[in-house]
Structure 1
Amino acid sequence: MIERRRRWFRDMPARMALKLFNRPRVRIILGRKYSDALRIHQPALPRLSGIDAKIVAGLEKDGVYITTVDALNLADGHIVIEEARKLSEAFADEARERVANGEVFVIVPPDRIIDHPSIYLFGLQDRLLDIAESYIGLPPAYDGVTVNYTVADGREISTRKWHRDWEDRRMLKVALYLHDVDEDGGPFQMIRRHDMHQNDEVGFDYELADDAALTATLGATYSDDIVSCCGPAGTVIFTDTARFFHRGKPATGRDRMAIFFSYFAQQPRHPFLCERTGMQRRDILRLAEPLPRRQQRAALWRQYLSIALRIIPPASL
């Protein structure tokens, strides 16, 4: 109870900022600034070809594109998967203990990922930034990486319920499976119907959604468009988790281990609802300092916000 109250007070500034940003006059101003930014940046967008262009087209059409590390030929893909797999397996017993003690969203502790910088740096390669920028329409921010561990207890809780992410109007998540994932292994799922009720004209509201809410928002046949992203180790999933409802299907057959890289615009609509990986800013700064300017700006996106936005503490995980 004490911890819950502490989190409530800690998150109060972020909740107040979200309410302010959804006031009618503020929505209009933010919407106009966003439209102008998209228009101005459009000529500078990367020119994609091959599978990269297909990924962006798939995101625009369905909100998801599924492929493999081998098909993408991503640099160091298999090395990163192997490193993250070893981290996850070493964390397995602790993850199950945390779940048994009531924790609902379990990730490999960020300080352990920092000891393996190649996992974090993998998400900053130019090719992934090009895909993110082309889809988002603006220079991308990189919110880092999580290595998710889903215990196969069959419970539909937390991110295993249908929801949308709240950081920005558009987002890109890139997921890598560390082992084979079938329907019983807790695959990532999304509904390829865009939620038309979330925009600057009507505002943004974030709640976990049950069948009634999904029916009201997406239509009675929404289940026809549920995509279960099953696949072998090395499967790569590109998806927009802001515009589309998604979840991790409750795992029943075996635990699921996956890496998630996260991107949004460098001036996100809700910067106070970002920084969801739990990584420390000092660690990110240390990793980003020797990188080229583009990668620095993506990783250190908070430094380019206004002072008023920087002083709002991010909501807790």
Structure 2
Amino acid sequence: MLMLCLVTTFTKKHYALLTVSSKKLTENMSTFVKKLRNHVLKNLYQISFLQNQAEQTYEAAVKQHSVNLPVLSVADFSLVESIRREGVVVTSLEALSIPQTGKMFLAAQKLIPEVAKSVCAEEHEYVVHANSEQMMQHPEIFIWGLEKRLLDIVENYIGLPVAYHGAYFRRDLANSVERKSRLWHIDVEDRKILKIIVYLNDVDENSGPFQYIPQSLTSTVAHSLRYKHGYIQEKRLQNVLSPSFWKSCTGSAGTVVFAATSKVFHRGKIPIDQDRFTIFFDYTSRQPTYPFYCKSSLPWEDLLSLAAKANLSEHQKQCVFWRPSL
């Protein structure tokens, strides 16, 4: 009987280990296949003939849509012009006075303790995201990114109908990990990308501010580095541009950063003193340069549920469901 119990225990433990290993292997294989597919597709998109055709189609679409751009207030028009000129603009939730901001910010503050409880088991990880279940418990956050004024601002900057990729609630960990978005890079998903970043806690130089290279210098830096895509180590960037030209977006909770991330080198500086809590609201056109890099912050089923419960307008639905279910 004792031998049977030992064998049973041994079998259960090893079965559990095998199940976990099998799941991990499946996830790794899926990630590898996706990366390989994206690499192949990206190379196809970069064929000169196809690129030229795509550019002509894009320019024609922008010109055609120009007469349909939403009319902006003087303040919002000035904001868009500043984004076009500088690449990054820092403001605040109070200054923007977007409807439903109070509900969104309160929901975000309620979510902070839940995400703060999350423990990252991987030593090389640097960020914890709120999962889809947590986000669905606080739909005000996702829906805020669909406020009409915000969509009008984004559409005027991008110049085409807007694709809303959702809201990403982030806890950036105060550790020494230097990888991915903590390295300098330019986003390549589309010709024009706009990210609206909301700080949920006070962010100073030691709390992981969003950093960028002014748009006027980015093209020169990219040329000097022979940069096409990917991530750049800090030391390598220092060889071509003094850190005195790097800009940090600091501010208290409620600070808002409009960032044209396809036009400027940028990164999230490593937090030292405390974790940084933010929400990233992501937007591109509905004809992105590399659509296979674009994904929503929520699963398709959750988007359908949220759209029904929130009674989204037809315009908002078009921004969310900008492409068929995959």
What is the letter of the counterpart of residue 113 of structure 1? M
The alpha carbon displacement at 1:271 in A equals 1.1
The alpha carbon displacement at 1:212 in A equals 6.5
Matched, 1:56 2:77: no
The alpha carbon displacement at 1:87 in A equals 1.1
Is the deviation greater in 150-159 or in 124-133?
150-159
Matched, 1:9 2:29: no
Give the alignment partner of residue 230 of structure 2, picking from 182, 187, 207: 207
Corresponding residue of 1:85: 109
Matches within 5 A, 1:218-297: 220-221=240-241, 223-275=243-295, 277=297, 279-289=298-308, 290-297=311-318
Is the deviation greater in 75-84 or in 220-229?
220-229
Contact 1:51 1:72 in 2 (8 A): no
Q: What SS does the corresponding residue of 1:165 show, helix, strand or coil?
A: coil
Contact 1:82 1:178 in 2 (8 A): no
The alpha carbon displacement at 1:78 in A equals 2.8
What is the letter of the counterpart of residue 287 of structure 1? L
The alpha carbon displacement at 1:197 in A equals 8.5
Q: What SS does the corresponding residue of 1:98 show, helix, strand or coil?
A: coil
Where structure 2 has 5 or more consecutive residues not aligned to the other structure, the ranges are 1-23
The alpha carbon displacement at 1:54 in A equals 2.0
Distance between the aligned counterparts of 2:219 and 2:173, measured in 1? 33
Where structure 1 has 5 or more consecutive residues not aligned to the other structure, the ranges are 304-309, 312-317
Corresponding residue of 2:67: 43
* TM-score after normalising by structure 2: 0.84
Corresponding residue of 2:89: 65
Q: What SS does the corresponding residue of 1:181 show, helix, strand or coil?
A: coil
Corresponding residue of 2:180: 158
The alpha carbon displacement at 1:191 in A equals 1.2
Distance 1:300 1:50, change over 3 A: same
Distance between the aligned counterparts of 1:90 and 1:251, measured in 2? 20
The alpha carbon displacement at 1:236 in A equals 0.8
Distance between the aligned counterparts of 1:208 and 1:38, measured in 2? 30
What is the letter of the counterpart of residue 271 of structure 1? P
Matches within 5 A, 1:78-227: 78-94=102-118, 97-98=119-120, 100-193=122-215, 195-196=218-219, 205-211=228-234, 214=237, 220-221=240-241, 223-227=243-247
What is the letter of the counterpart of residue 54 of structure 2? L
Contact 1:85 1:257 in 2 (8 A): no
Distance between the aligned counterparts of 1:146 and 1:242, measured in 2? 18
Contact 1:163 1:246 in 2 (8 A): yes
Contact 1:191 1:222 in 2 (8 A): no
Bigger Cα Rg: 2
Q: What SS does the corresponding residue of 1:247 show, helix, strand or coil?
A: strand
Corresponding residue of 1:298: 319
Q: What SS does the corresponding residue of 2:248 show, helix, strand or coil?
A: strand
Q: Which has the higher contact order (CA 8 A, sep 6+)?
A: 1
- In the TM superposition, what whole-angstrom CA distance separates every residue of 1:156-198 from its partner, at most 9, and x where no partner exists? 2221111122321111100111111111111111111354489
Distance between the aligned counterparts of 2:235 and 2:207, measured in 1? 26
- In the TM superposition, what whole-angstrom CA distance separates every residue of 1:63-97 from its partner, at most 9, and x where no partner exists? 01111111111112132122112212222131xx2
Distance between the aligned counterparts of 2:94 and 2:172, measured in 1? 25
Is the deviation greater in 156-165 or in 127-136?
156-165
- In the TM superposition, what whole-angstrom CA distance separates every residue of 1:240-299 from its partner, at most 9, and x where no partner exists? 11121111110001110001100010111111101163x101111222343111111100
- Paired residues in the alignment total 296
Q: What SS does the corresponding residue of 1:175 show, helix, strand or coil?
A: strand
Distance 1:62 1:18, change over 3 A: same
The alpha carbon displacement at 1:152 in A equals 0.8
Distance 1:35 1:124, change over 3 A: same
Distance between the aligned counterparts of 1:104 and 1:181, measured in 2? 17
- Percent identity over the alignment is 33
Corresponding residue of 1:307: none
Contact 2:194 2:284 in 1 (8 A): yes
